[in-house]
Chains A and B, each alone.
Chain A
Amino acid sequence: MDPRRVVITGVGVVSPLGVGKESFIEGFLSDRSGIDRIRGFDPVGLPCQVGGEVEEFKINEYVPKIYRKATKLMSRDIVLAVVAAELAIRDAGLKTKGTAPDEIANIDPRRSGVNIGAGLICCDLDELGIALEHAQHEGKFSYAKWGREGMESLTPLWLLKYLPNMQGCHISIIHDLQGPSNSITCAEASGLLAIGEAYRTIVRDKADMMVAGGAECKINPMGLLRQCLLGRVATRYNDRPDQACRPFDRQADGCVMAEGGGIVILEERQRARRRGARIYGEITGFGASNNFSGDFIRPDDGAAGVVIALQKALDEAQLTGDEIRLLIPHGSAIAEHDRAEAQAIRSVFGPAAAALPVVATKSRIGNSGAGASALDLVAAVLSLQEDVIPANRNCPEPPPEYGLNLPDTTIRSAGIRNAMCCCYTYGGQTAAAVVQRPDSR
């Protein structure tokens, strides 16, 4: 029996470039950046004051009427996932309990699942501040008063806004997805690892359709503060936000954090064909690995984990490096990390590396944590579909020793048959995937 094959039939994007795949691809093909001075809170006390925030949108346009009350239980991270999932399901033409409540569904709920990458969700500090007013003794926190009065001012369902599995939970309820369900929490690798797991779930015949991806909001005081404490953020560009994130550039200054969600619909190929779905591409290879070093934060020299993940994904797709026409790297814009990633790419692709277009996305959309690597897969998928290689932004001067081909102009009719993306994170988790044109085998 031939192995089951998995195709992508829908994409949903919420990013600093806008809501929806149209503004996402348009943003990549123009010179637009989604990075600006942070507006969600006053970042004045933090060394990095720029980030990628999503334009205002109304959550009610993305959840069915009967579910609107439950949006009160959604933190920003959950909202981003729910909206991206809704967009992806609509984009795939799937009729679910959520998208077509009055029609017969064209999914089998028991064979449909969800796998969403989530971050460490911090509670709303203003909300906690109000409760803390009732828990102080002489200006200091009092456990006794918190236990007696303070906690009472939190809404009873307070905890539910902050559990990472609630992204998948809400999505499963809205769309009636009763199959396998998982919530991957591997920081910046979460989104792509979730997609890789969902891909395997379908190959194993445990589901026919999976809603998979990741979403996170890093533009909140604690989320950004943690990155500042780790010294990962860009600090020299607070007056020039759109130039702040510079992956692989000589002037790379650090991460620029963001919010966003990227979700794809994965379907078993025959099922997708039978229902006449538009097929963006096929996932033909996936590799997961570990990029640990001595300190949890830096990749080691040569990013050995990235090498293994890329190679495993290529092997599974039965491809050699010269057959890849686009690579979306992690490209954190931390110079030392970019150097290690470039070395890993050279080591996998060898002489073909010089010809392989590498396009980093974070210069435009920042780093949305658990959403980031899923958005990168979506960028690869949309580039494949449009057959276009977007230009890098903020990368006028890559150090020549990186040895990478970082196009600075858009390449149309690029002839992409196979595209890849890869990611790694603090903590070490690493992943890579190959997406192939639907008609190429």
Chain B
Amino acid sequence: MRWKDGLKEGVALATLLLVFVGLPWALRAYENGQVRRLATGRPVFTVYANAAFGTWTTTPLVGWTYFWRKPEPAHIQVRAGQPFVLRITAVDVHHSFGIPQLGIGPYDVEPGRFLKLELKVDEPGLYTFMCYTVCGRHHEKMMGTLEVVGEGQ
């Protein structure tokens, strides 16, 4: 191979490698940056609403896991008085999110969009969050728990 051809092939190959390695890295890096910016030192929890299983879950439900992964009901633990962030999305149909004991919500949760809630709960306890929109056959099972633990607990 002539050196000129070799150079062309080298540049083309480097460009391809850059695409194959760089793109997934860039996507992940940007997403992590977004979450870090949102967090500003606070814990961030991503909650997925799934009507098919009738659950709020923190098990990541994305394209390749949605069809086979059985989501566990969400159980979020925070410390009393500690600010935290909930990122809530729906992976199938419209839902609405609320924690009645804390007077939070209901907020619409659209499929494929994120609802961001910045919260702080001072009173320790076990709170249930639920869906306020009839979302399917398992609507009544749509529950998750927020556990707020006090100092020394």
State yes or no: do A and B come from one complex.
no
Q: Which residues of B are at the interface with A, using a C-beta cutoff of 8 A? A: none
